[in-house]
Structure 1
């Protein structure tokens, strides 16, 4: 690709692609391509000018090399990225906004006043009709106030005031609609499926294939904890399916043969074979958009409070107008009250603040599923961390395989990987990745795999029962034993590692030692959260007391609990809530999902189990735990902004009413200053909180 560097500073450059026009698809393709480059930290593509602003870390030449190698034809971009892009939406609304402003000023300059008066009178009928309809339903809402202000202005022949009020109301509606649609689309895209590999059933065998290779009519096997990747019909198995991502209802539903299932829902228990009916990602996207639009999920308590307060203030504004007229017998002064209402600003600025905060969080790779969760994060005083994959690194590694039955460690690892590859846990991934690194191929050589949450996996290989899991599961639940003569070796297992136990026919066959190092930033994150207002920081883990105690001491949590089961985590969260605490739960595994559901805010790690991500209210990337601190700052900043907006709206509008009643300013000026201040507060609310 030929390009020209137009401007450059350290770590940032603006380039111009040598082409006349850039389509929306081309712009999204370049954006996706550059985002995949590890050197690039931020990029924005401008399709109208064919420019790209690139911020990068590391080697400048690598970025230049990537740009030279780029071509639209060769770039591998998922189809859903293009199909669900918000670029056209932004361009459409920018055009609408510019057109609206341009048309108004051109009309004032070239169209005679009588014609404009007729047009304004005709246009006012829409607002008057909305106000009358509201009254007919027995409600005194903002529509009544708008209709009264516009109607009275038209009746008094004050066409300029009526026109200004309608113009500014139209601009406000357009900005609100734009921000809302953009935020909903961003949220829907972040919730859309990103399934790369699936188990396809073919000739009674299961084959791991790319999701893009699946066609309508193929059968896929989906197990507990996994997201159903496609719309389809169940052809085998039985499962409890969580459909909260589409219906908002968290109670799982039973699915058996002949039942329909939908992409994005999660299997909480059981296993299904699904015949695929639809492979496109767009249907999932559209369902999410519909779910968000139809639900109250986006609304925080502050937004709902603002809406209710706005409607409750309408009678007082109308009463104030009537009282002013009765006391002064001056229509102009009475209109000055009518032209200034608190409700318009409250209804516009609050939702925009919340939706902008959600958008800002997405810039830091934080997915927030609704405004109420940001508010809950701001109010939270207790945070509960799962240890593995959360406080410790998301990618633990196998450091040793100790054989206890005389078999080759590689063969034992191959067996372990064959079982573990079916289930989404960081420890399981470590085993599978180690087998791949050693080029250990493992065909499906076992029978049906059973997974016991927070315990382990059980199956049968060549007629022999094979289990893998925790010490509690293998030795206490399954009553396995250490082979005779191996007791001393077992007692000498290295304590600095986590252990996975593999047993065959109730005898220990191998211990897989896994390094699960603490994140470098963990202690600093804990300290930062405490400074940000979290008073109680808790760690819960299924690991031994020894391991839990060492980690808790290093990171500085206030409390820790070891050898806990999923129900223990959920019970602790529920008890804290019952004691009046606002609780955040952070985890990454299937065993964390009950606690994630129970908490005021559930936060999942993006590399964790699919069910955890689906159930969680917020998702952060696995790369940096500091995102939790960033989330807390955004949430705190949002609540400060909302309170500041309240003060500004009340202060400005009260001043305008007093100036109007005292005769200092005219109704036209009141309306102009009121609507202008509303737009300025709204536009300011769209700014980033952390800038």
Structure 2
């Protein structure tokens, strides 16, 4: 690619791409390509000027080399990146706003009054018809008020007032539609699939391959807790599939051979072999957009209250108009009241505030599936943390393998990795990575793997039963034993590590010691949450009492619970809610899913189990837990802005009514000030909520 550098400073380049015209697709392709580079931290591509601003870390020459190697033709950009891009949408609505403004004020300058009167009369038909339809259905709502104001102005031949009212209503409609579509698009893109690898069935083997290598007709295996990556048909197996992402229905459905399954749904129980029908992600994206727009997920209760209040105020505005006529017998003063209504601003500003908050959350690497969940976070006073992979780092590491029999360390680790690689958990990933680092090959050598949630894994290797998991699972559920000669070794296992137990033929074969270090920011995050309004911080873990106590003390939680099962977490959340508390649950594993679902707001870690992300209402990046604080501050500020908007709308419009009735302002000025204030409040509602100084450094 040919380009020139327009401006540069350390860690930042602004370049101009030398080409005649940049299309939306080309801008999206370049942006995607640069974002995929490891040393690029932020990218903005401007298609109008063919410029790009690139923030990077490392050496300048590396970025220049990347740019020189780029070409639109060679960049293998995923189909969904282009099909779901919001770039064209933004430009379309910008042009609509500019065009509407230019035409409105241009007509005032260049068209004679009689022509403007005809145009205004024709345009008024749409608004008057909406009002008539509302009345025909027995409803006194906002369209009735708009229609009355416009029709009275036209009847009095006050075309300037009618034109101004319709212009400002039109601008408001465009801004609301734009903000809504952009927020829905951003949300849908964040919910789109990001499955990099899948298990491909080839002869009698399961092979882990890139998802891009899968073709229609291939057979793939989906294990419990994993997302189904493609549309297809079940060819073998049985499972319970959670289809909430497509249908909004939280109850899982049973799927057996011959039945269809869809990309983006999650396998809650069982194991499925699926014959792939389609490998593109566009249908998944379209289904999500449809689901969001058809559901009430985006609606917070404050939005619903605003809409109902807006419609309930319409009769009072009409009564106020009648009262003004009876008291003053002055059409001008009466019309001044009619030109002002509270409902327009309420209906416009509140949804924009919520949708803008969702957008801003996305800018801070937080995916929120609806406004009501931000409201739940704002109201929350209790927060429950899972420990492993949440309060502790998402990348635990194997520090030692302690053997208790004939199997050497390398063989024990190889067997463990062969079993663990099938299931999504940070501990499992640590085992698989450790085997990879030691170059231990672990091709499929076992029979079907059975996963018992929150306990462990069971399978057979060379007709020998192999289990791996917690001490409770291995020693109590599976009744495995320790060879007496190794009892001392077992009793002196290092207490600072988490332990994963491997048993073969009911005999303990090895204990894998995994370092699960606490996140550096955990204690600071807890303090910040309490400052933001959280009064109770709880930690729950399946680890031993000793380990849990040590972590709880360092983090500074109010309560902790050790050796808990998934149902224990969910029961605790339900108990807190029954006592009148608003609860947030944060976790990353399959075993956290019931509690995530039960909480007022469930938050999943982005690199945790897919079922946790699917069930959760909010997802945060795994890099820094302080994003939870950012989320809480953002939610608090959203409600604060909504309440301030209420006060502004009531104060401004009440003042305009008083000025109109007393004859201090004319109807034209009343309409102009009302609609201008509505527009300004709406525009203010689109601004970011978090001041730079309050954003948590990530």
CA contact (8 A) 2:597 2:616 kept: yes
- Structure 2 alignment gaps of length 5 or more: 692-698
Corresponding position of 1:188: 188
Q: Is residue 553 of structure 1 aligned with residue 540 of structure 2?
A: no
Corresponding position of 2:385: 385
Measured after TM superposition, the shift of residue 4 of structure 1 is: 2.8
- Cα deviations by residue, 1:161-203 (Å, 9 ceiling, x for unpaired): 1111111101100000000000000000000111111111222
SS at 1:221's partner residue? Answer: strand
Give structure 1 regions of 4+ aligned residues with deviation exceeding 6 angstroms. none
User: Which whole-Å CA distance do the structure 1 matches of 2:597 and 2:540 have between them?
Assistant: 16
Measured after TM superposition, the shift of residue 58 of structure 1 is: 5.2
Superposed, which structure 2 residues align to 1:165-244 within 5 Å?
Answer: 165-244=165-244
TM-score by length of 1: 0.98
- Cα deviations by residue, 1:232-271 (Å, 9 ceiling, x for unpaired): 1111111111111111111111111111111111111111
Range moving further from structure 2, 34-43 or 145-154: 34-43
Q: Is residue 502 of structure 1 aligned with residue 502 of structure 2?
A: yes
Measured after TM superposition, the shift of residue 231 of structure 1 is: 1.1
Range moving further from structure 2, 404-413 or 311-320: 404-413
User: Which whole-Å CA distance do the structure 2 matches of 1:384 and 1:60 have between them?
Assistant: 44
- Cα deviations by residue, 1:628-668 (Å, 9 ceiling, x for unpaired): 01111111111111111111111111111111111111111
Measured after TM superposition, the shift of residue 12 of structure 1 is: 3.9
User: Which whole-Å CA distance do the structure 2 matches of 1:301 and 1:470 have between them?
Assistant: 43
Corresponding position of 1:400: 400
CA RMSD of aligned residues (A): 1.3
Measured after TM superposition, the shift of residue 210 of structure 1 is: 1.1
Superposed, which structure 2 residues align to 1:422-433 within 5 Å?
Answer: 422-433=422-433
User: Which whole-Å CA distance do the structure 1 matches of 2:10 and 2:656 have between them?
Assistant: 48
- Cα deviations by residue, 1:132-156 (Å, 9 ceiling, x for unpaired): 1111111100000000000111111
- Cα deviations by residue, 1:397-435 (Å, 9 ceiling, x for unpaired): 111112211222111111111110110000001111111
CA contact (8 A) 2:79 2:282 kept: no
SS at 2:665's partner residue? Answer: coil
Corresponding position of 2:694: none
Measured after TM superposition, the shift of residue 627 of structure 1 is: 0.6
SS at 1:608's partner residue? Answer: coil
- Cα deviations by residue, 1:534-567 (Å, 9 ceiling, x for unpaired): 0000000000001000000001000000000000
- Cα deviations by residue, 1:91-133 (Å, 9 ceiling, x for unpaired): 1111111111112222222222222211211111111111111
Measured after TM superposition, the shift of residue 450 of structure 1 is: 0.6
Corresponding position of 1:116: 116
- Cα deviations by residue, 1:262-305 (Å, 9 ceiling, x for unpaired): 11111111111111121110000000000000000001111101
CA contact (8 A) 2:227 2:610 kept: yes
Count of aligned pairs: 691
SS at 1:563's partner residue? Answer: coil
User: Which whole-Å CA distance do the structure 2 matches of 1:478 and 1:541 have between them?
Assistant: 21
SS at 2:75's partner residue? Answer: coil
- Cα deviations by residue, 1:544-600 (Å, 9 ceiling, x for unpaired): 001000000001000000000000000000000000000000000000000000000
Measured after TM superposition, the shift of residue 322 of structure 1 is: 0.7
Measured after TM superposition, the shift of residue 33 of structure 1 is: 2.5
Superposed, which structure 2 residues align to 1:358-369 within 5 Å?
Answer: 358-369=358-369
User: Which whole-Å CA distance do the structure 1 matches of 2:15 and 2:361 have between them?
Assistant: 27
User: Which whole-Å CA distance do the structure 2 matches of 1:9 and 1:490 have between them?
Assistant: 58
Corresponding position of 2:150: 150
Measured after TM superposition, the shift of residue 690 of structure 1 is: 1.3
- Cα deviations by residue, 1:361-406 (Å, 9 ceiling, x for unpaired): 1111100000000011011000000000000000101111122112
User: Which whole-Å CA distance do the structure 1 matches of 2:349 and 2:8 have between them?
Assistant: 37
User: Which whole-Å CA distance do the structure 2 matches of 1:463 and 1:575 have between them?
Assistant: 45
Measured after TM superposition, the shift of residue 11 of structure 1 is: 4.5
Measured after TM superposition, the shift of residue 204 of structure 1 is: 2.9
Range moving further from structure 2, 167-176 or 89-98: 89-98
User: Which whole-Å CA distance do the structure 1 matches of 2:278 and 2:366 have between them?
Assistant: 29
Q: Is residue 7 of structure 1 aligned with residue 34 of structure 2?
A: no
User: Which whole-Å CA distance do the structure 2 matches of 1:319 and 1:46 have between them?
Assistant: 51
User: Which whole-Å CA distance do the structure 2 matches of 1:556 and 1:74 have between them?
Assistant: 52
User: Which whole-Å CA distance do the structure 1 matches of 2:414 and 2:630 have between them?
Assistant: 41
Superposed, which structure 2 residues align to 1:26-65 within 5 Å?
Answer: 26-57=26-57, 59-65=59-65
Superposed, which structure 2 residues align to 1:84-99 within 5 Å?
Answer: 84-99=84-99
Q: Is residue 330 of structure 1 aligned with residue 339 of structure 2?
A: no
SS at 1:584's partner residue? Answer: strand
SS at 2:446's partner residue? Answer: coil
User: Which whole-Å CA distance do the structure 1 matches of 2:160 and 2:405 have between them?
Assistant: 92
- Cα deviations by residue, 1:63-86 (Å, 9 ceiling, x for unpaired): 444434433334343221122111
SS at 1:656's partner residue? Answer: helix
User: Which whole-Å CA distance do the structure 2 matches of 1:360 and 1:184 have between them?
Assistant: 13
SS at 1:198's partner residue? Answer: strand
- Structure 1 alignment gaps of length 5 or more: none
Q: Is residue 475 of structure 1 aligned with residue 475 of structure 2?
A: yes
- Cα deviations by residue, 1:478-509 (Å, 9 ceiling, x for unpaired): 11011231111111111111111110000011
